[in-house]
Structures are given as C-alpha cells and as structure tokens.
Structure 1
Amino acid sequence: MKEGKTLKIIEWRDMDKRKFYGYSLMLGTTIRFSVYPLNLIKTRLMAQEGVTAYKGTFDAIKKIARREGIRGFYKGFPISLIQVAAGQLYITTYETSKQTIFHKKSIPVQHFLGGFVASCISQTIMVPVDVISQYQQISASQTKPNMARKLNVSTMVAKYSSTSIVGRSVLGQAFYISRYLIKNEGLSGLYRGYLLSLCTYGLNSGFYWGFYYLYSELFESFLPENKSKLQEALRISTSGLLSSATAICLTNPFDVVRTRYQLQVRRGTGTMSGWSTFQALLQSEGYKGLTKGMTARIAQSSFTSWALILGYEYVKKMSLKHSKITSEDSTFETVAAFQKS
C-alpha cells in the first residue's frame, strides 16, 4: 500500500482482480440505473436553443413525467449500459498508469494524469455510445411538434418523421441511428465531438482525482488518529462531493458545447465546428448558456459521488488479497472511478 501524507492508499497490485471486477460491475450498474434520469434531463436541457421547452431541471421533470411517463426518463438506458463495461477499462487504465507511467510524480499529479489518460482511452468506446444514447434521450420530441421546434434536433426529427423510430426496440433504434449517421456522415458521425469529449471528460476526470486527493488529505488532517467509522465515512463523502462539484464547475462549459455539437446533423456540405458551436452559443445565449444543465449535472454527480465513493470503499476492501488485509482501523483512499468514465 502507498503512503500519502495522512492516507494509506490501496493500490492495484493489492487487490484480487476477479473479486474486484465482479463487485464493481454490480456497483456500477446499480448506480447508473439510479442516476440515469438526471443524465437524460441534463442532455435535454443542454440541447435547447432559443425558445426553450423546459425552464429548468424541475420543470423538465414535471413535463417528462406528464408527457412520457416513467419510461421517458430511461430512453436510451439499455445502450448506455455499455458504459458500465467501459468503466472497467477506465479503472484498469487509471490504476496501472499510476503505478507505471506516473509513479515518479507527486501523488496529486499521479491522480490527475492517471484520471485524464484513463478517460481519454475509455472515450474511444464511450463517444459512439454517448451519441446514440443522446438521440434516443431526445427522440420523444418527434411526436411533439412544438417540443421539436424548441430542441436542437430539427434535422434528425425530420428524418424520424419519414422513417420513425417509434415502435422499434431499443437495439433497433440504436441500429437505425447508427446507420443514419454513418450513411450521411461516415464513421466520423459516431465520433462527433470526440476531441470535445476528451476535453470534457478527460479534464473532469483529472480534476476530480486531483481535488479528491487534496480534499481527502485536508479533512484527514483534522480527524483524530483513532477516528470512528462514521467520521471516516463523512471524510470520504465530503471529499467526493466537493471534488465532484469543483470539477463540474470547471468543465461544464465544455459539456454544453460538446452536447450541442454532437446533436448536430450534417446539412449540405458541412457542419459547424466545435469552436463555431461555442461562438454561436455565446451570440445567442451569452455566457449564461455555458451553465445550462449544471444544476442537473451537480445533482446527478452528488448522489453518484456519495454512493460510488462509499461503495467503492467496500469494493476495494473486499477485494484485498488475503496477505494485504490489515486492521479495520486503517485509513484507505477511495475514489468513484466509474462516475468519470
């Protein structure tokens, strides 16, 4: 185990990988199911331009529940489960890069660079899934003409009107969207916003890991040496919540631009670049537009951070190799790896 200033850190080599992957898959699936509705709301809020369909997070909840029912909050959920598997690639890359590539760096820098690299690699899988899932999340607008005019999906909605995805299975919808994008834009259609995703999720992941370690060290320094389990849980939860909120505030502008850009459908011979999307957003909505979806994103992340950090604490402890098991009073650093994938 690695020694921080005040923390003992469970390393990748300390764990039984078979136990770890089994426990973490169950944890990731459960948490994703719990927070997916907020992710859907965040996507719809960020996709809005000009006259809005939703006034805010709570207004979106009411309208989606009234018009689409409970199922409306889980549009695109099955295909998004691929992200749970990608989370395993993420944590493997993160842990191994810390121990090999960045092991000579300071501990906070190890966390930042490890998180950034892990996110960049996992985005190769995540971006196509994210693009397809986003179109499924907003597909209900096709049946609501007034809503369609208010969401930034007019071209796709028009296409759906002639070859509707309503009535298709979830996999059928995913196949149709993939085929449509590849036919009109090539493979790049599934990787629209790839660099923006690297900026958004890579930086978010790096900031989260770095700030989590710093906050953990800070709060640990105020706790007594023989702290209770409740004090330890509070330290973990508070550090995770604060680091998540900090990372979101720093990266939300990238997320808004990324979402707008990915939801474009090519018209004619070209499409707006990421920079053009950013400029258009500022011109039409000002800097306030860069904060869209932040409340939903923080709400989603707050619950996820709390649940995943505490859950991951037990996953790491339960996955320890028998020779590495120490007393229950030892302090371990735990992080919500699967939230940043």
Structure 2
Amino acid sequence: MTDVKTLPKPLIDVIAGFFAGIASTVIGHPLDVIKTRLQVDRSSIHVGGSVRIARDIVRNDGTVRGLYRGFTPNVVGNSLGWAAFFLWYGKAQEAFHVYRGSQEALSYYDHFLASGAAGLLTSLCTNPIWVIKTRMLSTSSKYPGAYTSILDGSRQILRSEGLAGFYRGLIPSLVGVSHGAVFFAVYEPLKSWRARMKHEADTSTLDTLIVTTVGKIIAASATYPYQVVRARLQTYDAGAEYRGVRDTMEQIRQAEGLKGFYKGMGPGLVRVLPSVWVTFLVAEKMKLAMTRGFLGGFS
C-alpha cells in the first residue's frame, strides 16, 4: 500500500477552521445583520421585529446591499476566529490526552475545559474585529461617522477611544466562551456515541447535522443573553449610554424585561443553525480529506 503524505494536524485544524468560517459567513451574513440590529434595538416591541428590522435596513440603505453591510469584518473575524479556535482546541485536547496518559476518548468535562480555553484565547485575539463588525452591522451606511471599512473603523476607534476601544464588550465576550464550551461538551460526546453505535470511525453528514443541531440549541438557549449585552456595549454610542456590564443588564431589565435579553434569538437561531451545519460539515470533511492526503475525503 502506498503511503499518503498528510499535513501536520495543527495545520489541518487551521485550514479547516479558516474555510469553515468563510463558508458559514457567506451563507448567514444577512441574518447576522438582522440579529445584531435586534440586539441593539432598545424598543419594547418584540413581535415581528425581524421583518421590521429587515424592512428598515432596505429602506434606510436604499438597497438590499444593506443586508451585507459589515461583511468584510464578519468574514475576516469568522475565518481567523475559527482557524485559531480549532488550532487551540486541538492543542488543548492533546494536552488532556498527555495529562491522562492515554488516547482514550475524553469526557464531556474535558471537552468543556478544552473548548473554553480555546475560546478565551480566540476572544482575546478577535475582539477588535468584532467591535468593528458590530458597529457596521448595527447601523446604516448613512449613519453619521459610519465606518466604511475595517481600516476606517480601526482609525476612528484609535483616534476617538484609544486602544481600549478595541476591547469594548470583552467581558461579556469572555463570559460568552461558555457558549462554545457547552456546545462542545454536548457535540463531542454525541458524535463519539453515534460513531460507536454505527461502528464507524467517521461521522456521517446526517449525524453531523443532528449532533450540531442538538448542541447548538442547548448552548444558545443557555448563554444567549451575553450576546445582547456584548452588542449593546460595542455600539457607537455605548460609552454615553452604558456604564458597564452591570448597568447594561439593569437598563435592559428595567426597560425591556426578561425578553430583552433574548432579542434577536429567533433570527439568531435561524441563522446559526445553517451556519453551524456548514461550519462543521466543511471542517469535518476538510479534516477528513487532508488526513487522507486529499484522497477520498469528500466521497
């Protein structure tokens, strides 16, 4: 049998995450815009919010292109973010295997800790991109001082807010790492269980869809409020409106009630499910293909 040369596992993780992030952003960006606008919307109106926001975006921008505002920072953030996450997640898993002195399957708790550590590192590195992305997605291109690009946004933030401006919303972002930790604590054991049940080494497309759906719904339901708080803290006028995480939460509670913490969750789930399907299908298939030396990986 001919040996097939494969790439190093860390490089496989990076490449798979990079292209998975691009694919998921291309598919889900318009719904991401609507979700972000809902998260920063302070009105107490909840019913029909997604349709109202979509209509306002098209009317204010004069074209459906408004639904793709902020696409560049979103695709940059997702591609680099997933590349970094998969790299560090793989390294953390290896560390747990070394610590335990075996290559046996890790527990759900191990996956929770490994994905949490990877998420913390990723959030610290990508928060500046998410600040720019949030501000572009949350406003029309005609908004006074609206960013025209990542470079323009970087210049304006540096000039008006200094380096600290790039890390607005960092605390809720770090808290939000629990979302990924919960997801992987559900996803990895379920994936392994399905593989054992079917006596197969690789996860099928259908199994990936089922497992990612279950994991994402559980994780989103448990951790969504942090996304709303983070979005509010990353908007253009956040400094004038909110004094920090606690003040933001209190203002939302008083003005909008408990439902305010779940604004945008509807389109968020509609967006995130196809997005997570694409992310993990692309990532898993690419990893499989590269592990096999690009031979038969997509069969």
Is this a same-fold pair by TM over 0.5? yes
Match of residue 212, structure 1, among 187, 197, 200: 187
1:249 is aligned with what amino acid? S
1:187 maps to what in 2? 163
Match of residue 42, structure 1, among 35, 44, 48: 35
2:291 maps to what in 1? 320
Is the contact made by 1:54 and 1:60 (CA closer than 8 Å) also made in structure 2?
no
Aligned to 2:23, the other structure's residue is in SS state: helix
Is the contact made by 1:15 and 1:316 (CA closer than 8 Å) also made in structure 2?
no
- How many pairs are equivalent? 285
Distance 1:104 1:46, change over 3 A: same
1:297 maps to what in 2? 268
Aligned to 1:81, the other structure's residue is in SS state: helix
Shift in Å, 1:53: 10
Is the contact made by 2:24 and 2:276 (CA closer than 8 Å) also made in structure 1?
no
Matched, 1:266 2:246: no
1:131 maps to what in 2? 131
Aligned to 2:36, the other structure's residue is in SS state: helix
1:335 maps to what in 2? none
For the residues of structure 1 that align with 2:154 and 2:23, how far apart are their CA atoms? Answer: 27
2:80 maps to what in 1? 85
For the residues of structure 2 that align with 1:247 and 1:317, how far apart are their CA atoms? Answer: 26
Distance 1:88 1:15, change over 3 A: same
Shift in Å, 1:61: 2.8
Shift in Å, 1:258: 1.2
1:249 maps to what in 2? 221
Matched, 1:306 2:269: no
Distance 1:59 1:220, change over 3 A: farther
Is the contact made by 2:290 and 2:297 (CA closer than 8 Å) also made in structure 1?
no
For the residues of structure 2 that align with 1:25 and 1:61, how far apart are their CA atoms? Answer: 29
Distance 1:321 1:75, change over 3 A: same
2:3 maps to what in 1? none
Distance 1:226 1:65, change over 3 A: same
Shift in Å, 1:124: 2.0
Is the contact made by 1:15 and 1:321 (CA closer than 8 Å) also made in structure 2?
no
Match of residue 94, structure 1, among 71, 89, 94: 89
Distance 1:220 1:47, change over 3 A: same
In structure 2, the gaps of 5 or more residues are 1-5, 101-105
For the residues of structure 1 that align with 2:34 and 2:245, how far apart are their CA atoms? Answer: 22
Q: After the TM superposition, which segments of 4 or more aligned residues of structure 1 sit over 6 Å from their partners?
A: 325-329
Is the contact made by 1:261 and 1:273 (CA closer than 8 Å) also made in structure 2?
yes
1:147 maps to what in 2? none
Shift in Å, 1:63: 3.6
Shift in Å, 1:282: 0.4
2:182 is aligned with what amino acid? F
Shift in Å, 1:67: 4.3
1:307 is aligned with what amino acid? V
Is the contact made by 1:20 and 1:319 (CA closer than 8 Å) also made in structure 2?
no
Shift in Å, 1:217: 4.3
- 1:187-228 superposed Cα distances (whole Å, 9 cap, x missing partner): 11110111110111x11110110011233345456x44479x
Per the normalisation by structure 1, the TM-score is 0.73
In structure 1, the gaps of 5 or more residues are 1-12, 144-156, 330-341
Shift in Å, 1:180: 3.5
2:153 is aligned with what amino acid? I
For the residues of structure 2 that align with 1:280 and 1:77, how far apart are their CA atoms? Answer: 30
For the residues of structure 2 that align with 1:326 and 1:179, how far apart are their CA atoms? Answer: 46
Aligned to 1:139, the other structure's residue is in SS state: coil
Distance 1:109 1:226, change over 3 A: closer
Is the contact made by 1:17 and 1:319 (CA closer than 8 Å) also made in structure 2?
no
Is the contact made by 2:19 and 2:282 (CA closer than 8 Å) also made in structure 1?
no
Distance 1:73 1:213, change over 3 A: same
1:277 maps to what in 2? 248
Distance 1:303 1:278, change over 3 A: same
2:76 is aligned with what amino acid? I
Is the contact made by 1:102 and 1:110 (CA closer than 8 Å) also made in structure 2?
no
